[in-house]
Amino acid sequence: MSFTGRRLRQRNTVLSGFLTGALVHAFAVVAFAALVLLKMEGCNAHDGRAGTLTAAVMVDLLLTGPLLWIVVRTHRNGRLAVLAGWALSLVSALALLTAAAVHLNSLPAGCPV
């Protein structure tokens, strides 16, 4: 196999790890949006949004493990490349999580009287 073929295979392996991570994060964003539309509010809006953000993070964590395991098992020779692609997908997920946390902190706390 040529050097170019090996690099192309490594790039595809990194891309499969990235796409797996991106799809899991996108599903967590959809779960967050769906839960926000359900308006899970207790005494105030801050409690409901904190609950939905926690649920979305849990969905992300619970889906990442099995799916990443499947992708790593399918690319036995490129395990580090798969993990590197998944780590690249965390950059966008952390940006979205930061934006959601900033929005959460901007909501007023306390029960309205």
pLDDT tens per residue across span 1-10: 555 555 555 5
- Mean pLDDT lowest among 68-72, 98-102, 105-109: 105-109
Angle between helices 79-106 and 3-37 (to 10 degrees): 30
* Cβ proximity of 84 and 17 under 8 Å: yes
**86 pLDDT exceeds 60?**
yes
**111 pLDDT exceeds 60?**
yes
Band (14; pLDDT cuts 50, 70, 90): confident
Write out pLDDT tens, residues 39-52.
766 666 666 777 77
Q: Is residue 82 part of a domain?
A: yes
**Domain residue limits at 97:** 26-104
Averaged pLDDT of the chain: 78
Q: Which phi and psi (to 5°) does residue 40 adopt?
A: -80, 75
**65 pLDDT exceeds 80?**
yes
Q: Is residue 21 part of a domain?
A: no
Sign of torsion over alpha carbons 5, 9, 10, 15: positive
Write the burial class of residue 57 (CB in 10 Å: 0-12 exposed, 13-18 middle, 19+ buried): middle
**What is the distance between the alpha carbons of residues 76 and 63, in angstroms, rounded to a whole number?**
20
Number of domains in the chain: 1
Q: Is residue 40 part of a domain?
A: yes
Q: Is residue 97 part of a domain?
A: yes
* Cβ proximity of 21 and 93 under 8 Å: yes
pTM: 0.70
**What is the distance between the alpha carbons of residues 56 and 42, in angstroms, rounded to a whole number?**
18
Q: Is residue 19 part of a domain?
A: no
Report which residue type is found at 103: H
pLDDT score for 99: 83
